[in-house]
Amino acid sequence: MNEPAIDSGGGLVRLRLDIAYDGSEFAGWATQEGQRTVAGVLEDALSTVFRTPVILRAAGRTDAGVHATGQVAHVDIPEDALGHAYPRSARPAGEPEFLPLTRRLARFVPEDARVLSIVRAPAGFDARFSALRRHYEYRLATAPYGATPQQARFVTPWPRPLDVDAMSAASRHLIGLHDFAAFCKHRDGATTIREMQRLDWTRDGDLLTAHVSADAFCWSMVRSLVGALLAVGEGRREPAWCASLLDATKRSSDFAAAPARGLTLVGVDYPPDDQLAARIHVTRDLRTL
């Protein structure tokens, strides 16, 4: 069994949660007063089960309408409340420790959000600051009729012709460590320097998918990247234009962010357990070019 992370105050057990949700009816991940959010409904359910208020911290604070199949979060539970996670009867040999809790949460959480698994977090784990990279996919339905009814909530219809070769060429200009200010909504004190590790396109019939991976993303960055690349794909801009955007110092008004519905957080990578704490320090350091 992994050693749980205890905060500096002691008496807390840190749990890792792997989470999926359909973001269509959520006002994003982060808790907001008077809004239905993913963190809000999950915190309510966890607080009910553990009979104490809890706060979730996520690897990616997705915007309104954005989905996830591979979100990761952590929560710190008072050690004396942890007993509420266990069934009264003995747990079958070999059954994961928090499988009963996973089943129980399914009764409290709405159907458009699911906690897929729960484990004790290793020492030094932080869902946000320990992460090495996040992986997103943006899906476009390019059929003349747009998206099928089965795709409608998760895929953006784009029936207009796209030059995927030009989009791929433009994408290559954006790989590496850059200042992505042109693609980010401004936040006071937040850096816009990121390391883009993957940005490419694949096609499966009429479904066109952008695969986007970076050490971190700023607010609306993925949708803005896709929006700029669509401008190239439609012939409104040349591929080299995307490279010129990296010289900008603020959000560009030359393109619109792609709609939220096509975007899904599909995974988060973490280093080996013995490197988790060190990764936090790297993540918190101010990035420079």
List the binding residues: 136
- Nearest partner of 185 among 264, 252, 254, judged by Cα: 252
From the list 18, 22, 63, 76, the catalytic residue is 63
DSSP string, the chain: -PPPP--TTSSEEEEEEEEEE-GGGSS-SS--TTS--HHHHHHHHHHHHHTS---EEES--PPTT-EEEEEEEEEEEEGGGGGGGS-SSPPPTT--TTHHHHHHHHHHS-TTEEEEEEEEPPTT--TTTT-SEEEEEEEEE-STT-S-TTTTTTSEE--S---HHHHHHHHHTT-EEEE-GGGS---TT---EEEEEEEEEEEETTEEEEEEEES---TTHHHHHHHHHHHHHTTSS-HHHHHHHTT-SS--SSSPPPPGGGEEEEEEE---GGGHHHHHHHHHSPP--
Which residues line the annotated binding site for substrate?
136
The question of whether 63 is a catalytic residue gets the answer yes
Task: Note whether 70 and 267 are within 8 A (CB).
Answer: yes
Residues tagged active-site: 63
